[in-house]
Structure 1
């Protein structure tokens, strides 16, 4: 009998409801005290009615909408107090990554501060197609005073159900659509070259990668393209399943650190960094004819999925980078920190702090190359120009 030398445990803990009637599944919920976490726009716009109409007949609802981008710890604390006061039996999060991350943090810390609190199931209903937070055990919360983002990683915050309904993202403006869509692409790229990557995560990352290149330009041009909307919604979830297994990498490590200082939308920040991260991971500075490392070989695999054919893997990687830069232009996204509007003075005064924070970020540990402060500083410099 062959000796088992390693064991990987792969588990998908979230049930996914997707398709035209996804929201109708909420009508099965009965006799619950539902604490619903969302953002102010969902309430003011009336969009939340699409969800509450399925819940408020058989259940009692309390809506907590004091959520803002990069949810700060103070708002999580307020939410926990409201949740406990309401005596919730079920937690529902509706919105983008900020609302879902805040709900995850409330679920986790409510249990920690009061051990006799009931274990609350979480239903996540994303209204953006980007974070994949509806199927991950990740959340990011912010210490606004220190300007630091803290990843929370535990299976305790994994949603029990994810509801994917394209009708909830039809009204998303073009800038949010492309920001979140390029975040999906970042998730696919980083999961694929992660040091923890496996056959299962690779399959998901490959599919999500192809879907972004096919459907993101379509939905950027026509937000009412329902097929493209649903495909990007599904791609976001697929990418979330991939990186939830294997973590991310330096692109997100820098984005978390820089985002806390510059307040650039997360997907937009990832997109500015992306070409330089790929070049770094693939060791492109060593020249096209050097033996490709593992990351370069894997990036070349992805390149072939979008019909980039090159016998030399590093030439394929360069073509992949060029295609991403072209996609970024098509989507009308900034190519650098300076183009976004970050001043030279602010950049110079913060890049050392950002570099140090990026190396400590929980996502950086899965990067295929182990970066130094000098490496991160160089990537930041290239991304500023």
Structure 2
């Protein structure tokens, strides 16, 4: 059974192997993305309860919902610490007669569908697989394997931001409410959506605005607003329950913060007035700037840094945007660029794997 530990090695091996043969062709790249994402989806959805720290809790809640009527879901949400939208989805699933593992296959498919929607709709064909690998390296072990509510909410949240950038306000707001119903971390994007909607483009994408927001966030970090917000009675119980625990102390300015601040300043520097930039460029800039500001405002509050990680999901747009700015448009240049990124993120994948966030892989049918 210990040999199953190599299952985790399959994730970077499959993606990078396919990337080597597909990075210069959009059609082959897309096909390889579908193959690798399907295989990894099966790996994720087949995991046993002992693989991560949250699965047993999710199974307990799923099974206990059979005894909870619909009109008591809101009350049960406050007691159990899970959002009403997720509980409603679980309730519908167990009413249909499926078991927990079948439900997880379904929910993981929803997460994968949201991710593929972003990759196919907003990222150029030849960069889709490397973007997927960045997601797998940076987020998959923490979200898809463990924090499944947060996984889905983050993906819906970034689609909401993208829709607002496209001017599809109703779709954006609807998706925002869906995301919040699955994880309250998504509340943070209400500020981002408001800024995009109300602020003029020439001001939003300016160095003056970026530096002003970073400076203001630095000042706010001294006041520690998070400690005050978590004491308010109207705040979601999923946040206030951490008051007085170790989850509201510690360091939050790490490598993600450095990437965020550097990338946001680079992108705004190259944003020329009057020049049309695509949605991906704008999205990467806004999410990196938001990630920077959230890191500063919620400094020392790790439980709220999930909001920063939500925004940092936009980093999956990094290869296509940075290639457009700095690289010569040649097949060889693109190939070297993507393989170089892949090498870096192989190391990042194993760094996250060694953190202990997940345990030895065992399929649920072998437990």
TM-score w.r.t. the length of structure 1 is: 0.32
Which one has a larger percent strand, Structure 1 or Structure 2? Answer: 1
Q: Pick 1 or 2: higher relative contact order, CA cutoff 8 A, min separation 6.
A: 2
TM-score w.r.t. the length of structure 2 is: 0.33
